[in-house]
Structure 1
């Protein structure tokens, strides 16, 4: 048996420290097509060195006359760019999530590149591009610290920013302001990565696009845009899709006019004069006025107003229509991507966070009134249906109530409300995307894979809003339970009581491993085989298997079967029946059947 003496251990520690200090003293400079970029060398919490290149502008500032227009690529620099600090967050309203006013900067289109300290230009390692969430109205890149994934997974991570709220998504439904500028920002960032990441040691043919919540919906929108072909090879979608009830609006012109009216910008005049007026206003004033937009009792919670919409180019049609069209999915090349989707086990837990914020700012009582069965059936459910399908009816309302509030039930719990909210917002749309991808790749025999997991661990160190992991709680594990990632996210989940235990740290290690293995190979099995004791099957018919991800792990089939069937089959068929019977209906897409 080989034993190290204390003196030997001290020497090893000294050499390790000297080695790390040597890295820290050397500032990396990368020669890219964009220009020379000087970064910094940092260390993870366990003293593993990595490089960070922060605040790189990938677009010309979208200000003044460039507001409400597609981004223009930054031309690059002819001198060394000191990439040693993050760029500012994009202008955003905090009210929807419990804060006050607006914050951020309109000149915010920057990205950040994180690499292992040991790689060179010829390393050719996988790349993950991260899109942050926040309902398309809030969020930033610098709240996510990918150092653990980078250092221990030996991948490059790029985090990007994009315009939010009205600055990113105001649309007049015509050429004056077509909208979806935030999606175009993301697209331009992806083009920058494709052109420059090889200089950092990245493999341009192994790029994974990954995001959570609105970032996840953004990944879906990018995958459904034909102009994205070749920009990435894999997708990871955590808790959101293009068809999520909150991720798409059919009422963009209505909301543009309401915002203009609030800001005295001649809302009834031509779109051109209205938008010209809105361009003259301070960005924060414009954004602060964007929530709430009216007195709708539920959409104030479930809809963020300025989000993606059909523009005929980036978003060709209602996302539910696109998802049900194999011909369109084939046209955009979805069959050539590997795809992983995930949800958490209590997605609707975010409802309580939003309800508290609304009650605080609007002096309302969402938190309690929604638990009234009459309010739930006659107000809450119809508005969720309107958001998801663009239609509501007695038959639809009764079908929803039958699943979530059975007639024989004498009690009505907040959990039923949260499940309704979470299923329309995250669970059904994620499953629909996985199902469409699996069917397409199977029928075309492209060999690309579909995986799904349900994150089902309730953190021991923060409070939960219901049964299971709440929306967003998986993020802390995704990024390794580092202090940098836990601090900003834990503010959404108050009443923390302790620190992660060993099993939770192992769970974070497993999650990071399956994500980086998927990014590297298109197959996450290597990271889970020790704890799972079996193969993690692909998500495909008829089993539709998924990984139940917690400290024990297991494989399940057809996640939330009855609830998902409601949203992907029962309700669309009722809509189609109404169309066939009356020949006309409020439903804009009657032929959607999951």
Structure 2
């Protein structure tokens, strides 16, 4: 009996080995690479995935320089471990230490395999967020379960997923505003990775003519910048910006010299014509620590104003105001949206009482926040107050006041700029299609750590896009798996065809295109149906802010 059992086990192992499809050793421009082939038991024993971790897409970058191509390597590179993140402030120690390395320009690739080795697959390239200050290609992780693992998207959407590293903080975005320290090094890193994918992805079974870039927060803004720069012509076909785009107030640093001088003083560099050369020769840890930001905030100094290490208009990668560059995205399919309470993360720092059920939030705090957002223009602040209180009862409840503050932060920081970007894309598009969404699944901590009225906070969408309800089923209710399935279907259909409704995955509701006149959007949550389509998202507030914010020079049409 034991002999027969042994024979059966041997046969099963043999059949598994011969049925496993794998790329094996892959030839890239830098040399040969070999990843790891894993079995995907949850969706059939004949499905596998090749996972490549830590492939260099550029050489170790020079200090405050554009990335250069990697010189290559001899033999076979074992691409089986994640590499260090780019050097950055450690927020876990309140920015008193750093983590990461300057040797950080690596990417990771997930390739789904069926009964035969995959060819011609759409490819999705992920750009992480983190305020241009922090982040990594893997995201947070526990026991090898990383937030930005591309496994679920790749498997369920039958696409290749790539995640990349790029320089952040001082090392990625410090600028004097002049040619001696032009800035935008992190954006150039992203560009180098996208270009590498375009040149090499065919060897991994991908279609270089069908690449989609996607990202969230600063990653969403980065995606937007990548569509607007003239340097990416023909490198990718589609783009998804989640909770961030290049028209956001925090996405452009309009006075980079001031912060560069602050950094220089902290590291004992002179504030003169030799400042840039001194900074280039300063220890990277000291430079990174010198880029720490003020984390204290109030309604008079909102937290979002402290994001001062961000892209600049350099005359090169970003040659003009973002709103003037949308002609460069005319042939790119663009999908963008926000979470319905994206601003909560920021306004809860500015006005902590909004999270405290037993502590009242004075209306005066809301007025102070509006004054800050309107640049202390009293007439604009008064008009803003009238706009946001137009539907209030004479004696508004604390819930009304607190929710309105979150709405103000969400509108100013995310919603209005995203609507502007969508409008500009649709107005400039030739062949490119435009899609808008609002993610509204309530935060899973609503009613416990957060108020019961809490909607979708900033970054709440990430767990669903990356399929965490499937990888950690005991931590999620079935409806969350439904939602995750919906988002992966829409995102990967869009990557495959340019239309989120059409592809290999069925969807719960038809998503109409965003047009300059109709301005349609899809509301995404676990209860979606054909009533989930809306028009002219928060139009009175969009109209108000586009008249007040000087960097949004267009007006949403009637």
Q: TM-score, normalised by structure 2?
A: 0.85
- Which of 241, 256, 265 is residue 269 of structure 2 equivalent to? 265
8 Å contact 1:115–1:150 — kept in the other structure? yes
Distance 1:341 1:49 in 2: 31
Q: Does 1:531 align with 2:531?
A: no
Deviations 1:84-114 (A, max 9, x none): 1111011222339967532211211111111
CA displacement, residues 289-348 of structure 1 (integer Å, 9 cap, x when unaligned): 3222598752444432111011011112233xxx2x4xx432x2x121111112111111
**Mapping 1:23-422, distance limit 5 Å:** 28-44=24-40, 46=42, 48-62=47-61, 66-95=62-91, 101-118=97-114, 123-143=119-139, 144-266=148-270, 268-270=271-273, 273-292=274-293, 297=298, 298-319=301-322, 323=323, 325=324, 328-330=325-327, 332=328, 334-351=329-346, 354=349, 371-378=361-368, 380-386=369-375, 392-406=376-390, 410-411=395-396, 413-422=401-410
CA RMSD after TM alignment: 3.2
* Alpha-carbon contact 1:221-1:242 (below 8 Å) kept: yes
For the residues of structure 1 that align with 2:280 and 2:354, how far apart are their CA atoms? 34
Q: Which residue of the other structure, out of 531, 548, 555, is the alignment partner of 1:571?
A: 548
Q: Is the 8 A contact 2:420 2:554 kept in 1?
A: no
Q: Does residue 480 in structure 1 map to residue 464 in structure 2?
A: no
Alignment partners' CA distance in 1, 2:12 and 2:492? 26
How many angstroms apart in 2 are the aligned matches of 1:340 and 1:126?
Answer: 16
Residues 374 and 518 (structure 1 numbering): CA distance in 2 closer, same or farther, change over 3 Å? same
Tell me the alpha carbon deviations over residues 428-487 of structure 1, each in whole angstroms, 9 at most, x when there is no partner: 11111111112223xx4x3x3211111111254675565311111111000112577x79
Give how far 1:23 is off: 7.2
Contact 1:220–1:237 (8 Å) recurs in 2: yes
Q: Equivalents in 2 of 1:171, 1:370: separation in Å?
A: 42
For the pair 1:502 / 2:472, whether they are aligned, the reply is: no
Q: Give structure 2 stretches of 5+ with no counterpart.
A: 1-6, 140-147
The change in CA–CA distance for 1:242 and 1:301 in structure 2 (over 3 A counts) is closer
Task: State how far apart, in whole Å, the 2-side matches of 1:373 and 1:96 are.
Answer: 33
Q: Corresponding residue for 1:551? A: 526
> Aligned-pair distance for 1:514?
0.8
Distance 1:280 1:164 in 2: 18
Alpha-carbon separation, structure 2, partners of 1:526 and 1:561:
29
CA distance in 1, matches of 2:283, 2:19: 44
Report the Cα distance in structure 2 between the residues aligned to 1:294 and 1:536, rounded to whole angstroms. Answer: 39
SS in 2 for 1:162: coil
Larger helix share, 1 or 2 = 1
* Equivalent position SS for 1:158: strand
Partner of 2:144: none
1:121–1:202 CA contact under 8 A, matched in 2 = no
Deviations 1:58-92 (A, max 9, x none): 12212xxx211111121222321111111101122
Q: The residue matched to 2:190 in structure 1 has which SS?
A: helix
Q: Distance in 2 between matches of 1:91 and 1:338?
A: 33
SS at match of 2:249: coil
Q: CA deviation at 1:39?
A: 0.6
1:505-533 per-position Cα deviation (integer Å, ceiling 9, x unaligned)? 0110111011111100111114786633x
Asked if residue 517 in structure 1 is aligned to residue 493 in structure 2, the reply is yes
Provide closer, same or farther for how the CA distance between residues 16 and 309 of structure 1 changes in structure 2, counting only shifts above 3 A.
Answer: farther
Aligned residue runs from structure 1 range 14-29, under 5 A: 28-29=24-25
CA distance in 2, matches of 1:294, 1:54: 34
For 1:187 and 1:119, locate their aligned partners in 2 and report how far apart those are by CA, in whole Å: 34
